[in-house]
Amino acid sequence: MKAIPAIDLREGACVQLVGGSYADERVRVKDPVDALKRWRAHGFSSFHVVDLDAALGKGSNEDAIRALLAHEPGLTFSVGGGIRSTAKVESVLALGASSVVVGTRAIEDFSWLREVAERFPGKVVVAADVKGREVVTRGWTEGSARDIVTVLESLEPLPLRGLLVTAVHKEGQMEGVDLPLMEAVRRASRHPLFASGGVTTVEDLRALGRAGAAGAVIGMALYTGRLDAGLVAQEFA
């Protein structure tokens, strides 16, 4: 399993929020490339970039994304946040993203998801953001009334790169992961699982690895120093 530092973008900066709440920002790095350099120095080579402003329809951080993806050859970036059109998927891949993360429209419009997955096979990651067991959309602000397992069943035939499952109720709280949720996802889907939300300790990462996750996105615990980046990189980068 691979540990993947998160680079969440807001107003051109790299930030960390608790539970996705704009009112509860705990970390801010003015230049996202500085965050990238910090994690590269420890040996990480895969990164998860999210445009929080685009996800909520409050703007765009495309310049910051462009700078991150152009910084150093050979790195792997998944990029998401407000990607709701085929043209946007294509443009993000053209910038150099290894994969594109689609959430709200993917959950709400299966025919569109099938179209982009088939047009860009192995390049599309579906973000299933979960509160309890309900999938939520639009920057975690709206419920879908759909259980995560039901959603996953519809995705099985598609040529996806994987699933990014975020336990929203754990996000940014540094209280551990929702392991039963991630285990249920692995049982329900053949697609590679990238887990997010609540990773706090090395043991959390090991537990996700035992559960069959292909990767784990880490945010708050890395940025606050709760997790030792060097030790994590040695075992999981």
The stretches in the chain having pLDDT less than 50 are none
Is 53 catalytic? The answer is no
Looking at residue 224, its pLDDT comes to 93
pTM recorded for the entire structure: 0.93
Print the SS3 string covering the chain: CEEEEEEEEECCEEEEECCCCCCCEEEEECCHHHHHHHHHHHCCCEEEEEEHHHHCCCCCCHHHHHHHHHCCCCCEEEEECCCCCHHHHHHHHHHCCCEEEECHHHHHCHHHHHHHHHHCCCCEEEEEEEECCEEEECCCCEEEEEEHHHHHHHHCCCCCCEEEEEECCCCCCCCCCCHHHHHHHHHHCCCCEEEECCCCCHHHHHHHHHHCCCEEEECHHHHCCCCCHHHHHHHHC
Looking at residue 91, its pLDDT comes to 96
Query: Which among 31, 34, 109, 129 is annotated as catalytic?
Result: 129
Is 8 catalytic? The answer is yes
Looking at residue 169, its pLDDT comes to 75
Give the chain's domains with CATH numbers: 2-236 (3.20.20.70)
Mean pLDDT, all residues of the chain = 92
Looking at residue 52, its pLDDT comes to 92
Query: Which among 8, 51, 53, 204 is annotated as catalytic?
Result: 8
